[in-house]
Amino acid sequence: MIDRRPLIAGNWKMFKTCSEAVETAKQLAHLVGIDQEVDVMIAPPFTALEKVSDAIKESHLSLGAQNLFWESEGAYTGEISPSMLISAGCEYVIIGHSERRQYFGESDETVNRKIRAAVNHDLKPILCVGESEKDRESNDTFSVLDKQMKIGLKGFSLDDLKLLIIAYEPVWAIGTGKTATVDQAQEVHGFLRSTLDKSYGNKLAKSIRILYGGSVKPNNISELMAMADVDGALVGGASLDPETFSNIVHFLK
Ligand code: PEP
């Protein structure tokens, strides 16, 4: 049996100045301690990456970015390249978050280019997929997810995807306090794993971590993690407070 190590990832979105981010990261590092069973990642805003990287160097925490651009360098005002993220200490990068799709025009095609850039630089891409409330109500959840997966991962080989992580984030559950039921989450995670199985075979499908995201809190993490195909969580609001986030990380205790 393939052992999928849980990952609890915190997306800090556009919250926290550099000094606030460093302070939060230090407190979190202390509260998390050395957890042998769970990987923990935080994704502060770009402006805080390097300082947070220094602050968590000796800790169990890893660093991620919330976005990247696919070019190596050039006249792309406001964008950040993969090597800039690596030089700031990042190991992970969140790609295709629904807020980027909704407010910044990201499409499955741009997501695909971003994953390619991450893969080429050995950054671990966290590909976010998820249906809107309207998609769910009109029974389009699986076709929407299938399209996001097919186009997002178009052209990748088996070897390209060894660092890939998927985050299933139903758009209607992000920041709304509504969480998918554990059965809804398991159903979709099972579906996503089966699409990976069809395209890449059982070994890869069984080894890829699929995170759930959408109003994850200390009081619902354990039941979500008890589902066979839920391998961790991508946490927004509840990752901003070190104590709350560390309680999510310690869901096994
Ligand atoms: C997110 O931003 O990825 C997210 C899941 O947010 P929240 O936990 O606040 O719903």
Q: Which atom of ligand 1 is nearest to the CA of 173?
A: 10
Residues 109 and 103: beta-carbon distance below 8 Å: no
For 45, the token pair is: 């805003």
Which three-class secondary structure state does DSSP give residue 151? helix
CA angle 166, 168, 174 (to 5 degrees): 135
Angle at which helix 141-152 crosses helix 182-200, to 10 degrees, equals 40
Q: What is the pTM of this model?
A: 0.97
Determine the distance separating the centroid of ligand 1 and the alpha carbon of 245, expressed in angstroms.
12
Residue 180: pLDDT band (50, 70, 90) is confident
For 17, the token pair is: 């100045």
Which three-class secondary structure state does DSSP give residue 205? helix
Residues 245 and 10: beta-carbon distance below 8 Å: yes
For 226, the token pair is: 């008890």
Per residue in 56-81, pLDDT tens? 999 999 999 999 999 999 999 999 99
Of 91, 169, 187, 189, catalytic: 169
The pLDDT score that the predictor gives to residue 178 is 83
Q: Is 97 a catalytic residue?
A: yes
Q: Is the pLDDT of residue 48 over 80?
A: yes
The percentage of the chain sitting over the pLDDT mark of 70, rounded to a whole number, equals 98
Would you say the CB of residue 53 lies under 6 angstroms from ligand 1? no
Residues 99 and 13: beta-carbon distance below 8 Å: yes
Of 97, 99, 131, 189, catalytic: 97
Would you say the CB of residue 229 lies under 6 angstroms from ligand 1? no
